[in-house]
Amino acid sequence: MLPEPTVKILKDALIKKFGSEVTDALSCENLSIAIFLNSGNYVSRSTLMRLFGIVEKPSSLNPKVLDFLMKYAEIADLSYSEDKYADGN
């Protein structure tokens, strides 16, 4: 599982790119569609629901799915983002 600060960075970036809060199954479905239309990559509604804490969190996030999400959110490197986040910049 990703460290909580990293998860927060990813979720915040996804929300910013999506342009709306992700709070329920419908918003996860809409985000899933937006990711697919933007990139051609499929991320399931249930995966997004686990990521956003709408249902029980997963033990880990598939690296390929993480890559899809990072590309959609336009995050080049989460380890860099996490370091930047920790520094408060």
pLDDT score at 87: 41
Per-position pLDDT tens, the chain of length 89:
678 888 899 999 999 999 999 999 999 999 999 999 999 999 999 999 999 999 987 667 888 999 999 999 998 776 544 444 344 44
Tell me which H or E stretch contains 13.
Answer: helix 4-18
How many domains is the chain partitioned into structurally? 1
Residue (of 82, 67, 70, 63) closest to 14 by Cα position: 70
Distance CA 35, CA 37 (A): 6
What does the alpha-carbon distance between residue 5 and residue 69 come to, in Å, rounded to a whole number?
Answer: 16
pTM confidence score: 0.82
How far apart, in whole angstroms, are the C-alpha atoms of residue 12 and residue 39?
19
Model pLDDT, residue 2 = 74
Domain of residue 21, residue span: 4-87
- Asked whether 50 and 41 are in contact (CB, 8 A), the reply is no
